[in-house]
Amino acid sequence: MHLVIGVDLGGTKFAAGAMTADGRQAFAFQSELTRAEEGADAVVARMAQLIDKVIADTIAETGAQRADFHGIGIGAPGPLRRKDGVVVVAPNLGWHDYPLSARLAAATGMTVTLDNDANCATLGEWWIGAARGAKNVVGITIGTGIGGGLIIDGRLYHGASDVAGEIGHTTIETAGRRCTCGNYGCLEAYASGPAIAERAREALDSNVRSLLRTIAGADLSALTAQQVYQAAQDGDELAREVVRDTARYLGAGVANLLNLFNPDVVVLAGGVTEAGELLLAPLRAEARRRAFRPAVDAARIVPGALGGRAGVVGAVAAFIAEHPVPA
């Protein structure tokens, strides 16, 4: 067997699993809390333990041997440098110029590759998911932040310094909301999970009646995007308005990508997709209104097929793209 381990590192948890190099079989997917406050080396030590467990579970399940595992692909928050496997800045982890690949390679004795988490999620959907086999793909992952990845001609596009695809940090309002990146008017400042919750809170300030008051209780600061989707699905007008606005912002962002990249597929992934067609339908309509007809006609705009597994799957594919493995 030819197996590769994938790891998806997030601020809250990290996940790992094994896959055959042909992408057909997946084994022992599991996750653990990141506990970034314990420091980067402690996170890597627990990551190595989880990988050991993935290997042991996969061996138990398949009868594979340890030598069948070719290496580890990790997806981590950017900006990062793929070449030497360094996470340059990861605010959610508190990391700065951390040599993640080298540390994990030392801890596991295996070859490690590093790529951006949203790149990996996009690559995963291209490899065996909703954008399978498409030539040019834009992936947008909407969660705590908004990440993106670009597949061009069947390969991840990284740009000159591994920054390419930062869709969340493109300006859609030049004098708009302040973004966590320091810029104003980024797509992320309008349509990330926390931004959706914030817009809902602002709307509640001026509107007494809404299911959201009941759902959120006394502490509005704990309101989540998921609660907004839930209330919208239950017919709450204020929540529906917030979801419609979210669709307009994301639709403008997607239209920009249609006119710039003219992709075959746009894959939307992450928590925001839990809103389903309530969000997707007006998002598609807004993108259609804004973008050029031949670009709209060429592109399918679809939710991801791999759910929370896309990052791990894509990290495996990213490893294979750098270190070809017999399929």
Residues that bind a second copy (CB under 8 A): 79, 88, 135-136, 148, 150, 152, 157-167, 169-174, 181, 183, 185, 248-249, 252, 255-264, 289-295, 297-299
Closest by Cα among 234, 196, 194 to 215: 234
Closest approach, Cβ 168 to a second copy, in A, equals: 9
Closer of 117 and 166 to a second copy (Cβ):
166
State how far the Cα of 327 lies from the Cα of 320, in Å rounded to an integer: 10
Closest approach, Cβ 259 to a second copy, in A, equals: 4
Closest approach, Cβ 279 to a second copy, in A, equals: 16
The 8 Å CB, 24+ separation contacts for 147-152 are 147/78, 147/116, 147/117, 147/118, 147/121, 148/118, 148/122, 149/116, 149/118, 149/119, 149/120, 149/121, 149/122, 149/123, 150/122, 150/261, 151/122, 151/123, 151/126
State how far the Cα of 314 lies from the Cα of 119, in Å rounded to an integer: 8
Closer of 101 and 256 to a second copy (Cβ):
256
Closest by Cα among 195, 206, 201 to 216: 201
Closer of 27 and 249 to a second copy (Cβ):
249
Closest approach, Cβ 179 to a second copy, in A, equals: 10
State how far the Cα of 280 lies from the Cα of 179, in Å rounded to an integer: 24
Closer of 1 and 89 to a second copy (Cβ):
89
Closest approach, Cβ 169 to a second copy, in A, equals: 5
Closer of 255 and 306 to a second copy (Cβ):
255
